[in-house]
Amino acid sequence: MTLINSSTKGVFVIACTPFTEDGSLDSASIDRMVDFYYKKGADGLTILGMMGEAPKLTQAESIEVTRLTLKRSPSKPVVVGVSAPGLAAIGELTKAVMDMGAAGVMVAPPSSLRTDEQITSYYRNVVETIGTDVPVVLQDFPLSTGVQITSKTLGTIFEAHPSIVMLKHEDWPGLQKITDLREAEARGRRRTSILCGNAGVFLTEEMQRGADGAMTGFAYPEMMVDVVHLSNEGKYEAAQDLFDAYLPLMRYEQQPGLGLAVRKYILAKRGAIASAAQRRPGAALGALAVKEVEKLIERQARKLELLN
C-alpha cells in the first residue's frame, strides 16, 4: 500500500464517476477512465470528491467505485473522499477504503462550521474517529463549503495533527495562503503537502508560490502534468504558454452548475468514458453549449500546434 505523506507531489486527478444513461454505475468506464488518466501522466487519483458526484452514491456504491479504481491502480496512490455530515459515516467509509488499500482520505468541513474553534475541534474529532494512522487531506474549498479557514487556523490544525499530511488548496482568492503556509514552514513548522484545486485555473501562479502540484479535475489532465513538470524545472514561461492554450476551455468549464457536464462531455469525446451522463439531478449540455465547447476545443488544438 502506497500512502500519501507530507512530501507527496505531482498531479492527483479528481476523477469523475461514470454512469450509464440510466444512472447506474458504469464499471467498464471506470476502468477506461483510470487507464486514461494514468496514460496522460497522472501521479495518482482522488475519487469520490465533489465533482465525482459522491453525495449521489450509496455507501455500497462508494466502496465499489473504490474497489474498481484500486484494482486498476496497483502502483499508484488513490485518495478517497469520505466527507459526510456525520463522523460515524466518515469513520465507516474510511475503514473500508483503507482496508482495501487507499493511500489516504480527503475530508471537507461541513458547512455548519463558523468559528476557528469549531473548525479545529471538527478536525480533532475526525482524527480521533478514523485514527492517527490514516493520512488525511484537508479540503479547503470555501466557495463550495462556505467555511472560511484562515492560514493561522490551518497552521494550528497541522501542528496538532501530524496525520493531516496534505492540504487540498482551493480558496479563491487564496494565493497568499500558500505563501503564508510555506513561510511558516521556513520558520520551523512541519511541512505539509499542498496540492491545488479550482480546476487548475491558477496552477501556474500556485506552483510559483510553492504548491507541490494539482489535485483537481480537467478533461485534459496532460496539461496539468506538463505545467507542474515545467514549473518544477523552473521553466515558468514555457509553463505559462502551455497553460494559456487551455485557458479558454478551463474558463468555460468553471461555470457553476455546468462544469461537470462540460468535463464529462469532453471525456466521453476523448474516449475516457462511454457516456457523459450524470446521476440525477444533474445538468446536461444544450445544443448551443455543445457548439461552444467544440469551438473551444478546435481553437485549443490550433494553439497547441503553434506551440509545437
pLDDT tens for each residue of 38-56: 999 999 999 998 888 999 9
Is the pLDDT at 1 greater than 80? The verdict is no
Question: What are the beta bridge partners of residue 139?
Answer: 168
Residue 97 phi/psi, 5-degree rounding, is -75, -35
Average pLDDT, the chain: 96
Instruction: State the pTM of this model.
Output: 0.96
What crossing angle do the helices spanning 287-307 and 259-269 adopt, rounded to 10°? 60
User: What is the distance between the alpha carbons of residues 101 and 39, in angstroms, rounded to a whole number?
Assistant: 21
Instruction: Look at residue 89 in the predicted model and tell me its pLDDT.
Output: 95
Instruction: Look at residue 187 in the predicted model and tell me its pLDDT.
Output: 97
User: What is the distance between the alpha carbons of residues 10 and 14, in angstroms, rounded to a whole number?
Assistant: 13
Grid coordinates representing 159 are 501542528
Q: What is the average per-residue pLDDT within 137-162?
A: 96
Is the pLDDT at 249 greater than 80? The verdict is yes
Q: What is the average per-residue pLDDT within 204-208?
A: 98
Task: Compute the radius of gyration of the chain from its Cα atoms.
Answer: 19
Is the pLDDT at 283 greater than 90? The verdict is no
User: What is the distance between the alpha carbons of residues 212 and 16, in angstroms, rounded to a whole number?
Assistant: 22
pLDDT tier, 282 (very low <50, low <70, confident <90, very high otherwise): confident
User: What is the distance between the alpha carbons of residues 96 and 108, in angstroms, rounded to a whole number?
Assistant: 19
